């Protein structure tokens, strides 16, 4: 049985999703270790969702409770979030519903921006991580591979995904009203991962040419060389961050990379170097004056950080807070947050984070979405049918093994009586005809969710142990493979 436990932007707070995005590497392993009933787990963790896909060895009446407990305990151990809160926040899907949910997620139908393209890659990488950790299973492999196939089918057969939808592009769409001319806008990109590449592409599509990159992990030089842009050193980071028009952050670094103190310090460094930060920022829209109390607090904090008294600092460099600062936009694409919300206390700075972007997400394009959901439903139904059929495959194998063993015994007896092969051919034909209906009915019972009834009937009518004969058949296959290997050695 496959189950999915999910917390997303649709049913969980942004703060909970942010907490869930931290230290999820060990969650899948913890889930698989929770009970012997769990044969596999794959965790999908993105900026707007946390999902655990779990494979149970057999259907259980208490499967939902077991899955919820396993996931909640694993996440609590990894993140420190109270398990009781997690149990209340996780939504549960099972069987075909779990498959349909994942297929919709991979196609971008459950995203903040419907049809966005990044999620398909995130789903694929989640499976790759599970493989590396050894937590996947054959059913989960098939589930996630089918999800990727469905996503590609929707992209090719519907308008969704063709317009380059993404969180990055939505954020830039929301920034349009604040930007007078993208071609003259100076941008600092913080991060070098997949979102950084998507952000850079979206910026250049809008005509931005002046983009530099900073990497908290030190990967900036390689990224800059690959994309023909300037790399910002740690020494210059604060000054440049305070000087550009737009900052886009999309790094996986834990903790805030940018805060009010850094921007204030950067303005002071630029002023000390003789370059007034206000003069280097292009006008990008009207800016409401920051509250006087916030401005005073920011100034006092910066002065305290320098170790100088206010009079000395202002006499040497002028006021550390730029009273004439023009608007500066900070777009935080990180989860957990890359930017401390206190940057909004810095005069002229406006923050656009994922929570704000989510609020302004556009409505779905109904026709394209409906078509995509029909594709998802058909794919999930087909996946479920195949899964159900596989659930009785061992019973079919056991039945056929039992019948063919009897057949071979009869053929041997006929040969001993001098049969010229006619009897053997007739017996084989009859056996095939007799097995056709039980084999077909196995699929019917499986699709109706009554696989166990079929297994019970086989054991009752033929007096065979389905598990025992299936295992024996597997043992014979292994022995045959070994014998063939020795013969060719």
- How far, CA to CA in Å, does 290 sit from each of 220, 235, 262, 293? 33, 28, 17, 8
CA dihedral over 439, 444, 446, 450, signed as positive or negative:
negative
Paired residues of 53 in beta bridges: 4, 42
Return the exposure string of 409-430: e unless at least 16 CB atoms fall within 10 Å of the residue's CB, then b: eebeebeeeebeeebbeebeee
Q: What is the dihedral of CA 445, 447, 448, 451, to 10 degrees?
A: 40
Active-site annotation holds for 4:
no
Rounded Cα gap, residues 328 and 263, in angstroms: 11
Cβ-proximal residues to 33 (8 Å cutoff; 6+ apart), any chain: none
460: buried, middle or exposed (CB in 10 Å: 19+, 13-18, 0-12)? exposed
Q: Name, in order, each residue with C-beta under 8 angstroms of 459's C-beta and a sequence gap of 6 or more.
A: 465, 466
Beta carbons of 45 and 71 less than 8 angstroms apart: no
**Closest of 342, 456, 436, 346 to residue 395, by C-alpha:** 456
The residues facing 8 across adjacent strands are 49
Greatest Cα-to-Cα distance within the chain, rounded to the nearest angstrom: 118
| Eight-class DSSP state of 258 | B
Catalytic residue, chosen from 4, 37, 47, 250, is 47
CA-CA-CA-CA torsion sign (255, 261, 267, 269): negative
Return the beta strands (E) in 261-400 as ranges: 328-332, 349-353
Using DSSP's 3-state secondary structure scheme, residue 5 falls into: strand
Candidates 128, 109, 129; CA nearest to 119 is 109
Active site residues: 47
């Amino acid at each position: 049985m496959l189950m999915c436990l999910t917390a997303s932007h649709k049913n969980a707070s942004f703060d909970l999703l942010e907490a869930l995005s931290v230290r999820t590497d060990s969650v899948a392993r913890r889930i698989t270790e929770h009970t012997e009933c769990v044969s596999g787990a794959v965790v999908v963790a993105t900026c707007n969702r946390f999902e655990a896909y779990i494979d149970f060895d057999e259907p259980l009446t208490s499967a939902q409770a077991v899955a919820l407990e396993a996931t909640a305990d694993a996440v609590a151990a990894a993140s420190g979030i109270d398990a009781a809160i997690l149990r209340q926040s996780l939504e549960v899907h099972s069987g075909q519903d779990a498959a349909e949910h994942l297929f919709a997620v991979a196609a971008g139908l459950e995203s903040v921006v419907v049809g966005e393209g990044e999620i398909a890659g995130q789903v694929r990488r989640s499976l790759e991580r599970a493989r590396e950790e050894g937590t996947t299973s054959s059913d989960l492999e098939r589930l996630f591979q089918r999800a990727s196939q469905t996503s590609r089918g929707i992209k090719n057969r519907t308008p969704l995904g063709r317009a380059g939808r993404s969180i990055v592009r939505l954020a830039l769409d929301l920034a349009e009203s604040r930007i007078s001319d993208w071609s003259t806008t100076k941008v600092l990109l913080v991060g070098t991962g997949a979102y950084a590449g998507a952000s850079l592409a979206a910026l250049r599509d809008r005509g931005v040419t002046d983009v530099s990159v900073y990497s908290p992990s030190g990967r900036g030089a390689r990224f800059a060389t690959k994309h023909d842009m300037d790399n910002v050193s740690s020494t210059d980071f604060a000054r440049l961050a305070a000087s550009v028009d737009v900052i886009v952050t999309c790094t996986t670094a834990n903790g805030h990379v940018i805060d009010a103190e850094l921007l204030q310090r950067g303005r002071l460094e630029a002023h000390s170097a003789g370059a007034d930060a206000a003069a280097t920022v292009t006008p990008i829209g009207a800016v409401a004056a920051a509250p006087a109390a916030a401005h005073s607090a920011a100034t006092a904090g910066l002065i305290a950080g320098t170790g100088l008294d206010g009079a000395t600092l202002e006499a040497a460099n002028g006021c550390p807070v730029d009273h004439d600062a023009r608007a500066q936009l900070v777009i935080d694409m990180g989860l957990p947050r890359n930017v401390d919300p206190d940057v909004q206390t810095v005069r002229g700075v406006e923050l656009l984070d994922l929570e704000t972007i989510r609020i302004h997400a556009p409505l779905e394009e109904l026709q394209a979405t409906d078509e995509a959901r029909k594709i998802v439903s058909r794919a999930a139904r087909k996946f479920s049918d195949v899964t159900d059929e596989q659930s009785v495959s061992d019973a079919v194998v056991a039945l056929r093994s039992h019948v063919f063993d009897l057949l071979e015994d009869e053929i041997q007896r006929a040969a001993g009586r001098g049969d010229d092969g006619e009897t053997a051919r007739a017996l084989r034909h009859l056996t095939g005809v007799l097995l056709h209906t039980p084999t077909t009915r196995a699929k019917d019972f499986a699709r109706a969710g009554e696989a166990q009834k079929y297994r019970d009937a086989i054991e009752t009518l033929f007096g065979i142990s389905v598990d025992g004969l299936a295992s024996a058949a597997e043992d014979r296959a292994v022995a045959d493979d070994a014998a063939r290997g020795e013969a060719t050695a």
